[in-house]
Amino acid sequence: MAIENRCIDVTFEAGEDLSNDQFRIVVLASGKVRRPDSSSEIPLGVLQNAPASGEAAVVRLIGISKVQLGETVAENEWVKLEYSSASDAGKGLDADGALDLAVGRCLAGGDEDELGEVLLSGAVHQVNAVS
């Protein structure tokens, strides 16, 4: 049986200038993608291009993506988004126990500001969530 590299990329309007945010984790708000405003926001996926405000933002929802890391992240660790400030947000961090905010699992880790590889699961892992 042949195995193909499969991914799902979806295009949204960039709700702000994301020209310095390629390979960072973004969130969805009012139908547009933007940087997260806090570390507790639910991630959408990883930005694959670098659009200005109003341009098409390509977001990988499922598959393997490069992710700019915000700290040292090791192989097999779950990855969540970072929020340091309005201009420094969306890098990948070790999710530790916050699996409800994880965007995926690290396949190739690295140090801060390096590009790691993450297997995006397509949904956050709602641990002990009430429906």
Report percent pLDDT > 70 for the chain: 89
* Res 110 pLDDT > 80: yes
127 located within any domain = no
Mean of pLDDT values over 96-118:
92
129 located within any domain = no
More confident residue, 49 or 4: 49
> Residue 31 is part of which domain span?
8-121
100 located within any domain = yes
Looking at residue 27, its pLDDT comes to: 96
3 located within any domain = no
Does the pTM surpass 0.85? The reply is yes
Domain of 14, CATH number, reads: 2.40.300.10
Looking at residue 131, its pLDDT comes to: 41
112 located within any domain = yes
49 located within any domain = yes
Q: What is the CA radius of gyration of the chain?
A: 14
* Tens digits of residue pLDDT in 48-77: 999 999 999 999 999 999 999 999 999 999
Closest to 69 in 3D by CA, of 100, 46, 49: 46
User: What's the total number of domains in the chain?
Assistant: 1
* Res 46 pLDDT > 70: yes
Give 2's contacts (C-beta < 8 A, 6+ positions apart). Answer: none
